[in-house]
Amino acid sequence: MSRDRPTASAWFHRRGELARDGWESVVDPTSTGLAHTGLRIAELNPGDALTLSVEGEERLVVPLAGSFTVKHAENGISTTTELAGRASVFAGRTDALYLSCAAEAVITGSGRVAVASSPTTEVHPSHHLAAADVPVELRGGGPASREVHDLCTPAVLAAARMIVCEVVTPSGNWSSYPPHKHDSHRPGAESRLEEIYYFEAAPVGGAERVAGTAAFGSFATYASDERDIAIAELVRSGDIALVPYGYHGPAAAAPGYDLYYLNVMAGPDPERRWLIADDPAHEWVRRTWPSAGFDPRLPFTSLEKEQR
């Protein structure tokens, strides 16, 4: 299971393959060809600073591990926001900062940070979302149970196009399942959304255990129409999958290892909605979930543990 072999798809990138300008990974139109979504990942040490210039993008700053200070300016007004963050992506919810497309910012701190983005000229106010205000959803059922943190969804944050959430899948479970797509504009039934997956994996126990490079899961995509796409990869911390179209899923956590991914979605449709269409061959699986119930390991992290 070497990480050194070439990737099998232009839509999948190993940790560090998209490094640029002090960032571990940069997903933008110049590096990947995606038109509506972007993502930057960085590891900061004390004294490091990363600049987010005004580029006509709405952005969401998400601490993955550690705490950060974001100094941001808009219309001549400067603000400093402290992001308390968390020990790791397996330690519970995090606070986050939505940055208006008219704001510029500088990030300092220590740890790993993600910046999701989507191009727009539609201005929405910058907003600090507290961890306690991040809704937690349980989705699926049985071995397809997973936990979702809604960071920047239409019901949580006002934004132009961007939709951002986190998914934590317990060891041995599947998520992004059944395989589904959102690549056609069918009002009320399906929306057009590009999607980025950023992965992390860790031995069972999450924040209490050190995540080694051996921890892994798997992820797949395949074509839904004449547009070709195919990913069938083992995924580890820092890897990134790009889904411009096509069916995607499952994202499977290997036994012994928990799996996390950050999803960034946006598209050209006039409404900011996440509407999906399951692969018809597998949509019947959803009907088995009510009787199966949720995995008893979920919620993955209790609110009491988060607040310690």
Residue 229 is given by DSSP the state: -
Dihedrals phi, psi of 218, to nearest 5 degrees: -140, 160
Q: How far apart are CA 195 and CA 9, in angstroms?
A: 16
Task: Read off the tokens for 40.
Answer: 């930057």
Q: Report the range of poorest mean pLDDT among 24-33, 72-81, 252-261.
A: 24-33
Q: How far apart are CA 93 and CA 157, in angstroms?
A: 16
CB neighbours of 284 closer than 8 A, spacing ≥ 6? Answer: none
Task: Read off the tokens for 147.
Answer: 């936990």
pLDDT, tens digit, for every residue of 124-169? 999 999 999 999 999 999 999 999 999 999 999 999 999 999 999 9
**What pLDDT is stored for residue 32 in this prediction?**
82
CB neighbours of 290 closer than 8 A, spacing ≥ 6? Answer: 141
Going by pLDDT thresholds of 50, 70 and 90, the confidence category of residue 55 is confident
pLDDT higher than threshold 50 for residue 8: no
The one-letter code for the residue type at 295 is: D
Residue 16 is given by DSSP the state: T
Dihedrals phi, psi of 197, to nearest 5 degrees: -115, 125
Q: How far apart are CA 23 and CA 84, in angstroms?
A: 21
Task: Read off the tokens for 98.
Answer: 């939505």
Task: Read off the tokens for 88.
Answer: 């790791």
- Range list of β-strands (E), 224-304: 230-235, 240-243, 247-253, 257-266, 277-278
**What pLDDT is stored for residue 268 in this prediction?**
97
Cis preceding-peptide flag for 125 (omega within 30 of 0) = no
Task: Read off the tokens for 268.
Answer: 């050209």
Cis preceding-peptide flag for 255 (omega within 30 of 0) = no
- Range list of β-strands (E), 170-293: 174-175, 180-181, 183-186, 190-192, 194-203, 217-222, 230-235, 240-243, 247-253, 257-266, 277-278
Q: Contact at 8 Å (CB) between 94 and 86? A: yes
pLDDT higher than threshold 50 for residue 6: no
C-alpha torsion 39→44→49→52, nearest 10: 10
Q: Which helix (H) or strand (E) holds 32?
A: helix 29-32
Q: Which helix (H) or strand (E) holds 305?
A: helix 303-306
pLDDT higher than threshold 60 for residue 86: yes
pTM: 0.94
**Maximum pairwise Cα distance, the chain:** 56
Going by pLDDT thresholds of 50, 70 and 90, the confidence category of residue 170 is very high
- Structural domains in the chain, CATH included, are 12-289 (2.60.120.10)
- Mean pLDDT throughout 255-264? 96
pLDDT, tens digit, for every residue of 246-259? 999 999 999 999 99
Task: Read off the tokens for 90.
Answer: 């397996």
C-alpha torsion 80→102→261→298, nearest 10: 60
